Chain A
Amino acid sequence: MEDYQIVDLYWSRSEEAIGETSRKYGKMLNGISYSLLSSSEDAEECVNDTYLEAWNRMPEDRPLYLGAYLAKIIRCLSISRFRSDHRKKRGGMGRITEELTDCIPDTWSCQQEYENGLLSDALNRFLFELSEEKRRMFIRRYFYSDSVSDIASRMRISPSKVKTTLHRLRGELKEFLEQEGVTLW
């Protein structure tokens, strides 16, 4: 079923909406959550919460890319769950956050307050300038939380090339944010 047809089901408050969503995107959503939480049980709960969230948000929202829309919800839910559960020491999120420290410009300070939207605009501009291959790699790692080997397999390149490219991209992002003058304030 096409995305717009599934969205129509949500809008018409049809019970088939969740079933169709699960059929088309259940595996992807589970994968995103599991990558962050490393727990099947927790991932399954996040998936169910995502369906509920999508049901509550539509109508009002009419996403063009349903997959991306759901991916953002489950990513947010999974990250929140990871942070609220102090017992969690494992999970892909720790490694990913560690990598992202490479991207922090020297001009940033924790004393500054966070301004919503400024950074995401800059990120979009950064991504726009990248080649498709690099952009995919960046998003698969830092949005979808794929492992390096998964990315390598998906893109049919060696893991070492993925690691090298991601390392360079982190440096480029840091430089980009510094040049753009993006600060947290």
Chain B
Amino acid sequence: MVRNDKHRLANYLLDEIGLIEDRYVAEAATEYRRAGNGLRPRRIAVIGVSLTLTLSLLLGMFAANQFGSKSDDAAEDLRDEAGNAVVTQASGTSAPAGISFRLQELKISTASYATPAQSIDLFADEMQIIWKYADEEIYRVRLLTSSEEQRMLGLLNKEQGTALSFAESEKKNGLDGIWIALGDGTVISPCLEQTEGNVGYGTLFDYNPEVEPSDALTDLVCDILS
């Protein structure tokens, strides 16, 4: 191939690069945070020693607590009856550490984007996780890759959520709703038992989060979104 021909074809390629998907163009415009920042060995050693000392201290305190005098109160139960992890709130009451809490603490990756509800395409032939924080008007969307879709479908077909009674105030912990859109219009609230009560079509329907997703689905959602 002569040089001029190659240049002509390279120009075609240059033009076509201008037609790549918007999400890739948008991703490249955001700040990039590398995974792992190449800590120096000495700093790694210092961190390692600090962690070891802290862990030893905590283990010592735990052991002392175990073999010390017992209080009249029952030992703190770190899991609720349903087997979900709980966190103790400042008031001393326990609340499920479910998907709302996990999402609040998660560092969401830049692969997700914010959008108004009317711009969400539920028929785009791509599976999406869609969620909305209580203090925002917009929705957040993350398109799933093929492998993520397979993992999600695998869980959706077999896991069952845990029925809990949320107080209305639980919504203030951050999440108004989270949905899994299958791409063909089907929208599922993630209690994972696909019954009439939690499957909608063509719309992000409202629902009371009376069923908490299983730990397995919560872990998967957080893994995908982080």
A interface residues, Cβ below 8 angstroms from B? 2, 4, 28, 62-65, 67-69, 71-72, 75-76, 79, 83, 93, 96-98, 100-101, 103-104, 106, 108-110, 114, 117, 119-120, 123-124, 127-128, 132-133, 135-136, 139-140, 142-144, 154-156, 184
17 example contacts (A-B, Cβ-Cβ < 8 A) are as follows A64-B22, A64-B115, A65-B22, A75-B18, A98-B7, A104-B9, A110-B8, A117-B19, A123-B16, A123-B20, A124-B20, A136-B32, A139-B20, A143-B18, A143-B28, A156-B32, A184-B9
Task: Tell whether, in the assembled complex, residue B1 and residue A109 are in contact, meaning their CB atoms are under 8 Å apart.
Answer: yes
* A132 and B27 within 8 A (CB): yes
Does B67 interact with chain A (Cβ within 8 Å)? no
B76 on the A face (CB < 8 A) = no
Which of A4, A71, A155 lies in contact with B29, CB distance below 8 A? A71
Contact B1 A100 (CB under 8 A): no
Interchain CA distance A108-B5 in the complex, whole Å:
10
**B119:A155 contact, CB within 8 angstroms:** no
Taking a contact as CB atoms under 8 Å apart, the answer to whether A72 and B119 are in contact is no
Number of B interface residues at 8 Å Cβ cutoff, please give it: 35
Q: Are B116 and A103 in contact (CB under 8 A)?
A: no
* Alpha-carbon distance between A63 and B34 when the two chains are bound, in angstroms: 28
CB pair B14–A71 under 8 Å, yes or no, is no
- A114 and B29 CA atoms in complex are apart in Å by 30
- State whether B26 touches A96 (Cβ < 8 A): no
CA distance A139 to B28 in the complex (A): 7
Question: What is the CB-to-nearest-CB distance from A62 to chain B, in angstroms, rounded to a whole number?
Answer: 7
Counting CB contacts under 8 A, is B138 at the interface?
yes
Majority SS at the chain A contact face: helix
Instruction: Please indicate the chain B residues that have their CB under 8 angstroms from the CB of A63 in the complex.
Output: 22
Chain B residues at the A interface, C-beta cutoff of 8 Å? 1, 5-29, 32, 34, 113-116, 119, 138, 145
Given A97-B14, A184-B9, also A120-B20 (CB < 8 A): yes
CA of A97 to CA of B7 in the docked complex: distance in angstroms?
7
Are A100 and B13 in contact (CB-based, < 8 A)?
A: yes
In the assembled complex, the Cα of A108 lies from the Cα of B28 at a distance in Å of 29
- Among residues of B, the one whose C-beta sits closest to the C-beta of A157 is B34
A contact residues around B25 at 8 Å (CB):
65, 67-68, 71-72, 139, 143
Q: A65: shortest Cβ distance to chain B, in Å? A: 4
Q: A96: which of B14, B23, B114 is its contact (CB, 8 Å)?
A: B14
In the complex, how many angstroms separate the beta carbon of B76 from the nearest chain A beta carbon? 41
What's the nearest-Cβ distance from chain B to residue A147, in Å? 15
Decide: B34 and A156 in contact? CB cutoff 8 A.
yes
- Taking a contact as CB atoms under 8 Å apart, the answer to whether B12 and A65 are in contact is no
Contact among A65, A75, A156 for B113, CB-based, below 8 A: A65
Known: A65-B22, A184-B9. A155 touches B34 (CB 8 A): yes
A132 to chain B, nearest CB (A): 7
Hey, which chain A residues are within 8 Å of B119, CB to CB? 4, 62, 64
* Cβ contacts under 8 Å, A101 to chain B: 6-7, 9-10
Seed contacts A4-B115, A135-B28, A143-B18; 9 additional CB < 8 Å A-B pairs: A68-B23, A76-B15, A96-B14, A100-B13, A127-B21, A128-B145, A142-B17, A143-B17, A155-B34
Closest residue of chain A to B19 (Cβ to Cβ) is: A120
